[in-house]
Chains A and B, each alone.
Chain A
Amino acid sequence: MAGPAPSPECTAYLDARLIDPGSGREMTGGLVVRNGLITDLGPQVTRATAPRDAAIIRCEGHVLAPGLIDCRVFAGEPGHEHKETLDSASQAAAAGGVTTMICMPDTDPVIDDVALVDFIARRARDTATVNIHPMAALTKGLEGRQMTEIGLLTDAGAVAFTDGKKSVADPQLLRRALTYARNFGALVVQHVEEPSLGSGGVMNEGLVSTRLGLPGIPAAAEIIMLERDLRLVELTGARYHAAQISCRQALDAMRAAKKRGLPVTCGASINHLVLNENDIGSYRTFFKMSPPLRSEDDRQSLVEGLADGTLDVIVSDHDPQDQDTKRHPFEEAEFGAIGVETLLPAALSLVHNEKIPLMRVLHALTAGPASVLRLDSGRLEPGAPADLVLIDTETPWQVDAEKLKSKSKNTPFEDKRFQGYALRTVVGGASVFTA
């Protein structure tokens, strides 16, 4: 585990609405933490029964849940520290109730070597306030030609293998990488976009792109890549995770693959669950992302996929970009939006506006990613790490981009009104953020 050392103290959280999405249990009660681990939880934990040496935190009926695990964060370090560092990203994460960030290997240099995994672990320990695990590159230099040292990188602490923002296009290479990954039980994570069909495109291909005169990326680019990958998974039996699904038919393909029993999972970014292509309006570059924001029908399909469990994970796809890369004509601006700090509030909007049960939404932010990545966290159980978030699910507030903790301010939720936020974030038993 790369992150802060566990706190030796004892803390009791009282009068909480305890939600453990992994078990589906919800109850009113308290939770005790000692030495960075949960030691007890339930209705029996009260003021009277709490350990005598425990510091008391009154939760006043608010939700106490496992801290969020964000599976897709581009932290900028090493190489792009002017956009974000592990330190600044972790502060943003803590402020958003995220206790574990999974960093992508798209750095400079690329995380494709044991030494770089060590570097991330060391920097995370020294500078970050939340847990950080890297995904390592699946191919050297993200070039799609030679696979990386999957065994050594796994031992060093890489939680999965991916070419980040790039898709592995060569089917032969991907087949071999999947076969080899299976050998180590490693997870392969793919950005599903057929590169040549998507090349030159800057937004979803459709009526909106036609009106704006912008080159489009057809949904078929994603569907083709995913369907091909699913065949390769069938051939190799490796564990496979589609990083971000953005359209209805890709989700259908994933649903069918799960039904066939393939070892596959998928995620979607919160952006694709709450925004659509129309939000681009008149060329707003903060809404330029990859995969592109799709149609309203596609967005609704993702909401359905979240409700029925086809979507395992919601990610922020946190991708800091500064003015130098965003203040350009839409076609020339960089892809990407920040989101780790607004992940929870935006996800709560799915509870308020789409009537998805809170348990289900939190599952895709905690137990879902923990299960995909085989992490020990993401659960409220005795013996589990005390990575927690205390959530006010109701109070309305408005996003002020300047107040976000990320070094870059490219949020698609500028001035957005949300309902609910993280009141307190606890990592390894220590409070790293209080609202």
Chain B
Amino acid sequence: MTAAVSHTKPDYPHRHLLGIRGLSAKEIIYLLDLSEQYVKLNQQVDKKRNTLRGRTHINLFFEASTRTQSSFELAGKRLGADVVNMSVSTSSVKKGETLIDTAMTLNSMHPDLLVVRHHAAGAVELLAQKVGCSVINAGDGAHEHPTQALLDALTIRRHKGRFAGLNVAICGDILHSRVARSNILSLGILGARVRVVAPAPLLPSHAEQLGAEVFTDMREGLRDCDIVMMLRLQNERMSGAYVPSPREYYRYFGLDSYTLAFAKPDALVMHPGPMNRGVEISSTVADHARSLIREQVEMGVAVRMAVLEALSAHLPGNSETS
């Protein structure tokens, strides 16, 4: 494994991972290939590597997220890094500290890898401009969530073996979704045909120019689809602000066995989590054999290990830095 890794390392030339935008198909495939190796490792009894030994990895989450944070934490620990979790939403921000102050404070602790989630689009990029280490975007506002898109791509590739010619429908709250934006980009780069399906108020302006075909009818949108990717709809958006009620949303845009039947017979179901059962997805579909939802979580750790490793190649003092 080590040999294969060092052989492909220069294929990820960036210091940070701030978004899918700017990555090439080759770079994405490199990360997916690297992730595959970690999928295998994660299934072994001994999951520990020394790749990041001596490195400090800080998870800086301005927005609470159990699953993404623990996924990054496990990834860092399995690679041998010292991982520290900081939930800023509860501490400094309330005391009036600005993002830049937080960044400068952290910078003084000499981290090597900084994983950041923030509620404002562009915040992670702003932070990356101010710190000396590698930064990974773990979700910024409605902008991007690149590791989610990578783990989704990895999950799809493991089942379909390809991207070219696949029809992927991303369904739900596209307007507020960074997962949708990153997935539209990555799946487009990889050659899949992407659709977005949503009630019109939850579609962003100029959605048709994002590189996805736009549908406002679930059945039409799912026709001939290989992958149905559901998005979470936050409760506060279902009470008349964007759609009238949860039950009306579920009726027209929820995924149940009946709606799923409009997709291809072997269509697979995905969801970035956490799910609202009975709001955007029925329990029958969520727990169905064709649901990849739990596998996505598994892929998440592997993808994040691959990303951490790819970025660590650019850290100062790394013997493999070219």
Contacts and interface: CB of A to CB of B under 8 A. Distances in A.
Interface of A: 205-207, 209-216, 218, 282-283, 324, 327-332
16 contacts: A205-B205, A206-B205, A206-B206, A207-B210, A210-B205, A210-B207, A211-B181, A213-B122, A213-B140, A213-B144, A214-B142, A216-B205, A282-B122, A328-B120, A329-B121, A330-B121
A216 B140 CA distance: 16
A62 B260 CA distance: 75
A330 B99 CA distance: 12
Nearest to A324: B98
A407 B206 CA distance: 39
B141 A283 contact: no
A283 B125 contact: yes
B123 interface: yes
Contact of A329 (B21, B99, B144, B210): B99
B174 to A, nearest CB: 9
B123 A212 contact: no
Contacts of A213: 121-122, 140-144, 178, 181
B204 interface: yes
A331 B205 CA distance: 18
Given A211-B210, A213-B140, A282-B125, A329 B204 contact: no
B100 interface: yes
A327 B100 contact: yes
A209 B176 CA distance: 12
A407 B123 CA distance: 26
A310 B90 CA distance: 52
B126 interface: yes
A209 B205 contact: yes
B176 to A, nearest CB: 8
B118 interface: yes
Contacts of A329: 99, 118, 120-123, 126, 141
A223 to B, nearest CB: 15
Contacts of B205: 205-207, 209-210, 216, 218
Contacts of A211: 21, 181, 210
B61 to A, nearest CB: 15
Contacts of A206: 205-206
A280 to B, nearest CB: 10
A210 B210 CA distance: 8
B322 interface: no
